[in-house]
Amino acid sequence: MKIPRLFLATLLLVLTAAASAVSAAPVRVLLTYGGHGFKTNEFFAMWAALPNITYTTCELPRQADMLKPGLEQQFDVIVLYDMVKGFIPDQQQAFVALLNHGIGLVATHHSLAAHDDWPEYWHIIGGHYLRKPATLDGQLHAASTYHEGQELHVKVADTAHPITAGLKDFTIHDEAYGNFYVAPDAHVLLTVEHPKCGRDIAWTKTYGRSRVCYLMFGHDDHGWNDPNYRILLQQAIHWAAEGASP
């Protein structure tokens, strides 16, 4: 029995449309906040404008019990914009178990200073803002610093990475962190040469079965409204959502 060509053509169009719809499904983000003030209206307006991304907020530490295995069924990526500490041991273990199972993680801005009482977190995100001098990886690090309102001339260190795709060197007005720790296994994406800022300001790594990215930017609406920041944030989220890789 011959199948009419028109039917086959129609079926092909339907299947193609269905495949496109699946591939275009929004990335589901759980967005954490807490422990640091910010301009909420402007911040969430930026998030609402990000294309092909949906987000749900998570206030930490109050909702820290959400960060446990099974969350990956509801969300593709966790984006950290909190600066909290005080996870109890059960919550720390549950978060590690979730990352070992596999979920995307994008840490931004002051999340670098979160959990100064939990060294494993520093390994998770690949860096740490030091509130006092400390020895890490056998080296003495001075206390970290912060300076608002800096003009940062950013160099794209890895132009071939999906997170930096399409970007060239750029300048952004944002807060600078200095003297912070960056883990030896971090793959550096962006660098800055600035007297008040650490050199490596964006990187990727893996933790367990999870892709992890850190972006230093995001203090206020100067950064949030910068088109380069929005591109980096979107591409970091989509990269992290694709799963762990070597």
**pLDDT exceeds 70 at position 71:** yes
**How large is the average pLDDT for residues 79-102?**
97
Which residue ranges form the domains of the chain, and what is each CATH number?
27-241 (3.40.50.880)
**How large is the average pLDDT for residues 35-59?**
97
Pairing of strands 27-34, 53-59: parallel
**Spatial separation of the C-alpha atoms in residues 189 and 160, rounded to whole Å:** 9
**pLDDT exceeds 90 at position 4:** no
pLDDT in tens, 93-148: 999 999 999 999 999 999 999 999 999 999 999 999 999 998 888 888 899 999 99
Query: Taking the model in full, what pTM does it have?
Result: 0.89
**Spatial separation of the C-alpha atoms in residues 192 and 194, rounded to whole Å:** 6
Neighbours of 7 (CB within 10 A): 9
Of 241, 224, 246, the C-alpha closest to 40 is 224
Confidence bin at 86 (pLDDT 50/70/90):
confident
